[in-house]
Structure 1
Amino acid sequence: MSTQTQTSTPSRPQQADDEIDLLALFGTLWDAKALIIGITFVFAVFGVAYALLATPIYRANAIVQVEEKSPGLPGMSDITEMFGGESAAVTEIELIKSRTVLGAAVDKLHLDIVIEPNYFPVFGAAISRHFSGLDGEVAEPAMGMSSFAWGGEKLSVSEFNVPNAFFGEEHTLISTGNGHYALYNPDKDLILEGVAGERSEAPGYSLFVNTLNANDGTKFSIVRKRRLSAIIDLQENLGASERGKDSGIIALSLEDDAPSHAEDVLNVISQNYLRQNVERQSAEASKSLDFLRDQLPTIKRDLEDAERKFNDYQVKVGSVNITAEAEALLEQVVELETSIAELQLQKAELDRKYTRDHPTYQAWREQMAELSKRKDELNQRIKNLPETQQELLGLKRDLEVGTEIYTQLLNNIQELDIVRAGTVGNVRIVDDAAVNVEEPVKPKKALIAVVATLLGGFLSVALVLVRAALNRGVTNPDDIEAIGLPVYTSVPLSDEQRKLDGLGRRRSALRKKQKNQHPHDLLAQKNPTDIAIESLRNLRTSLHFAMLEADNNIMMISGPSPNVGKSFISGNLAAVVAQAGQKVLLIDMDLRKGYLHKMFGEEPEGGVSDVLAKRVSVTDAIRPTRVGELSFMSRGTIPPNPSELLMSKGLTELLDEVKGQFDLVIVDTPPIMAVTDAAIVGRQCGVTMLVARFGLNPVKELEVTKQRFEQNGIAVKGVVLNAIERRASGYGYGYGYGYGYYHYEYKSDGSK
């Protein structure tokens, strides 16, 4: 005779595996839609809050152009050719970000001193930013918390020196009113006190505060960074890129939370780069100018010596006229000596620029050899002149050559001075730094809100899928029957029972004071038309036939693990059987944590453990209830040795006495996987039923539970699948479920 009375689940059309997986995936997500929506909403709220409270970041932009350098003055291209040139944009970008250029900006703007007001956590900075007072006005502290900055505070420092061990460490400066302040080290020790506009010193410290405008007690964080660290930070924050390939246009950018500060820093960097470029372009002219100025005193002294010797000779020999032939030779010699002197001046420049094997250097040597050869020829012709003419010609030659060289040297110095002064470099600033204060570049509020919402949705979906993958709890009765355990009924999860559980917790204190109360926590009494109770009525019918084959009228209800709802099944099953006119006794044999007494508004004392310990008689332990012919026996006082107490003869005597007094005895026991009490009690029971919870107990756990009972000689009659939930992802009442009565709700007037 079959004990299975529920109809079979109608088979679904055979579908492809991938389609089944997609339906199951969608169903899993649909079942957890509340969780997904909740997590997504929380992320969206946090995203919007961050977008609104985050400090806005502004970007300053400037443009410089690298171009070919033009000559300083018309007609001077020969002189300036070696001083001008074109620099690649990539090279110029590296120069812009060099320590030389950025270091000057760090020194000028004191970027190695970092100052931050102490804002109220989370939203204090946002409140401070929205303060719109007059210049120099400071916001009143909110709720008297003057240690925080609420808007309008200003602190500028031009000098802050600390010991080497405290570089990069956070110091605290506290305003003490009227421009006075106190400085504390990272250990909160007072270092020095001072006033704005005056330099203050302490051992290892020096501080010059230019401006301090804050409420009395307002705190500021002040950090002195190493100069190199400040330069490196500036290098990382400074953006430089060429607009268009080989365009020579370099775009500079710098981001900061203070627009004016970003503009100042970028302008100083641009000016430093421009000045460095000009100095680099005029470096050659400066070096040549220095060389010529070094030669000038020597040449002047030689000229003066030549003039003195010429005058002395004329005085010595009297006035002597140079013949026409000697005059012609003199002009040639002077011209030749002047050319040779100019070549000798060029030699130092050539030695600095070229090697001796360079073609330019070789050309110079050839030119010098040619001039020297001509000079030797002229000297030979001079030797043919009379001795007086030779001497006079030599002195005259030295004087005129010295004069020509000296005059040419002065001209070159003036020309190089003009070139250096007129050098503008091959770089110009096209656009000074500017910031669009109406549109900060960060945070992108709309983007952050969208990304946060999408992230919340993604994480919630991932959480649901991971949880579903890790949850191996049984959801289909067919899986249980596959291991040889018939499913007698499936009990839907009752919303009404959830309410009763919450109500019972709130009344727990009241029940301690009032002993006799209606069993408001018993669903079969509170709402007998609940769909969960209807399923227990189906179980009642099935058990009627199962008990006919049993050795006695005692039925044990157990489970594999805690929280499966076996006490709920035991109590309400006993109630529905009693409502059918049978005399039922419900015994709570969970001597450790039994709570059936709470369903009936009773105290646990005077129950099973007290009967087994011979402190109370069986008759006194049996308590009537307000539910038909249902009687109840509580667990009793919690004993120190529950298992040993159940193994005593008292248990057999108890069960033998009550089974003749009642039509059905239902025994609620602890889970078998937790303790052995169920194995002890089960040997004396005619029927053993297991309660498994939907989505909680894996099939493997039920199989192990069955094996454990069989090892103790107890045959499990069947399983009650409890707390079935509405699910779109699989087995569950209301979705693809074959039990039609789950779709109905019976009213007290008989309508459906």
Structure 2
Amino acid sequence: MKKDEMMMSPTPWTAHDGDDEIDLRELLAALWRGKYWILASAILGAGLAVAVALLLPNIYHAEATLAPSEEQQGGGLSSLAGQFGGLASLAGVNLGGTGRTDKTGLAVAVAQSRHFLTGFVRRHRLEVAIMAATGMDKGTGELTIDPELYDVTQKKWVREAKPGRSVEPSDWELFRVFSKLISVEQDKKTGLVTIGVDYFSPELAKQWVDWLVADLNAVMKQRDLTDTQRNIAYLKDQLAKTSVADMQTVFYKLIEEQTKTLMLAEVNPDYVFKTLDPAVVPEEKAKPKRALIAVLGTLLGGMLGVMLVLVRHALRRNGQDNAGLTVS
């Protein structure tokens, strides 16, 4: 190769740098040429997002803040457990002096359990409201029921059941749907518990929170009543069998404390939790965030438009390069 030809031929990195600069300019130019496509895509995305946002029903959130009741914060059996815990254990009796945190944690676990939630739905007959309702009529405040799922006139389920399932919702279906509507959260530092419900109707959301608190107290109270009555019966039986004075004293004291627990449980409606901040009917919706949906739709539409313009430019350039190679 001649010296002049060698001097005139570009080095690989010079050509590569020039191509990069040209490619960047070409991309910017291609985006500018396709600006109307990008704008149209952004407008289309915004329109679809607004349409979806308007079709989504309003969801209202009601919640109550609860604190452990005084009976669960120690004293009574808790103090007695320190004195007679060993002897009581030998006698086969659990004094239940677990303190506030364990009792509160147990109640939170019960509130999230399948048994409690399905029992709650069945007890208050909420099957139609959570399985067939699609929204609320703002004028009348009544729920909108999907006629393909439930016949309001004949009051029966008409949905198409999958093979192996019944037309009426099963306990598993009720738990799966209802557990998504409620929230039960405990603050580990303060011990306070928040129970919330998200639903189409603000009145029903508030009512369900009240029912959840009342039913949770009732269930926990019944559990402890059953245990206490069983303990009292056992202690009386053991008292009749022993002739040791010291053991009789222990049994009498245990029966006395268990009887106190039984009496307090029967007269106290706020057995586990007392309400610090009761639920109120929400006046503003919690979701959907329609403005956010519209913004995201616009951004996604614009990004899709940019991608289409760049793909179109790449295909056109490849076609031109292939045509140049064929001619040469």
Same fold by TM-score greater than 0.5: yes
**Which one-letter code corresponds to 1:55 in the other structure?**
P
Q: 2:207 maps to what in 1?
A: 264
CA distance in 1, matches of 2:272, 2:149: 45
Call closer, same or farther: CA 1:87–1:292 in 2, change over 3 Å.
Answer: same
CA contact (8 A) 1:263 1:435 kept: yes
Q: Map Cα deviations across residues 197-218 of structure 1 (whole Å, 9 max, x no partner).
A: xxxxxxxx9xxxxxxxxxxxxx
Say whether 1:40 aligns with 2:42. yes
CA distance in 1, matches of 2:248, 2:202: 57
Output aligned runs, 1:532-543, within 5 Å: none
Q: Secondary structure at the match of 2:101?
A: coil
Output aligned runs, 1:73-472, within 5 Å: 77-78=79-80, 82-84=95-97, 85-88=99-102, 91-113=106-128, 114-116=131-133, 129-130=137-138, 132=139, 171-173=149-151, 175=153, 181=154, 185-186=158-159, 224-243=168-187, 245-282=188-225, 284-294=227-237, 339=245, 342=248, 413=255, 416-423=258-265, 425-438=271-284, 440-472=285-317
CA distance in 1, matches of 2:79, 2:33: 84
Q: Secondary structure at the match of 2:317?
A: coil
CA distance in 2, matches of 1:274, 1:184: 32
Taking only aligned residues, the RMSD between alpha carbons, in angstroms, comes to 3.9
**Which one-letter code corresponds to 1:464 in the other structure?**
V
CA distance in 1, matches of 2:302, 2:38: 6
- Offset of 1:421 from its aligned partner? 1.3
**Which one-letter code corresponds to 1:69 in the other structure?**
Q
- Offset of 1:458 from its aligned partner? 0.8
Report the count of equivalent residues.
Answer: 286
- Offset of 1:38 from its aligned partner? 0.8
CA distance in 1, matches of 2:33, 2:316: 14
CA distance in 2, matches of 1:16, 1:94: 67
CA contact (8 A) 1:106 1:227 kept: no
TM-score, normalisation: structure 2: 0.70
Q: 1:26 maps to what in 2?
A: 28
**Which one-letter code corresponds to 1:231 in the other structure?**
F
Greater C-alpha radius of gyration: 1
- Offset of 1:454 from its aligned partner? 0.7
Q: Relative contact order: is structure 1 or structure 2 higher (C-alpha 8 Å, sep ≥ 6)?
A: 2
Structure richer in helix, relative to its length: 2
**Which one-letter code corresponds to 2:262 in the other structure?**
R
Call closer, same or farther: CA 1:92–1:174 in 2, change over 3 Å.
Answer: closer
- Offset of 1:460 from its aligned partner? 0.7
Structure 1: gaps of 5 or more residues: 1-13, 118-124, 136-151, 156-169, 176-180, 188-204, 206-222, 300-335, 347-408, 474-696, 708-752
CA contact (8 A) 1:83 1:285 kept: no
- Offset of 1:436 from its aligned partner? 2.0
Q: Secondary structure at the match of 2:313?
A: helix
Q: Map Cα deviations across residues 669-715 of structure 1 (whole Å, 9 max, x no partner).
A: xxxxxxxxxxxxxxxxxxxxxxxxxxxx53434654x59xxxxxxxx
CA distance in 2, matches of 1:26, 1:33: 10
Call closer, same or farther: CA 1:255–1:426 in 2, change over 3 Å.
Answer: closer
**Which one-letter code corresponds to 1:466 in the other structure?**
V
Q: 1:58 maps to what in 2?
A: 60
- Offset of 1:461 from its aligned partner? 0.6
Q: Map Cα deviations across residues 506-551 of structure 1 (whole Å, 9 max, x no partner).
A: xxxxxxxxxxxxxxxxxxxxxxxxxxxxxxxxxxxxxxxxxxxxxx
**Which one-letter code corresponds to 2:213 in the other structure?**
S
- Offset of 1:109 from its aligned partner? 2.0
Q: 1:69 maps to what in 2?
A: 73
**Which one-letter code corresponds to 2:245 in the other structure?**
S
CA distance in 2, matches of 1:283, 1:186: 41
**Which one-letter code corresponds to 1:270 in the other structure?**
V
CA contact (8 A) 1:64 1:431 kept: yes
Q: Percent identity, please.
A: 25
Structure richer in strand, relative to its length: 1
Call closer, same or farther: CA 1:97–1:184 in 2, change over 3 Å.
Answer: closer
Q: Secondary structure at the match of 1:272?
A: helix
TM-score, normalisation: structure 1: 0.33
CA contact (8 A) 1:69 1:426 kept: no
**Which one-letter code corresponds to 2:44 in the other structure?**
V
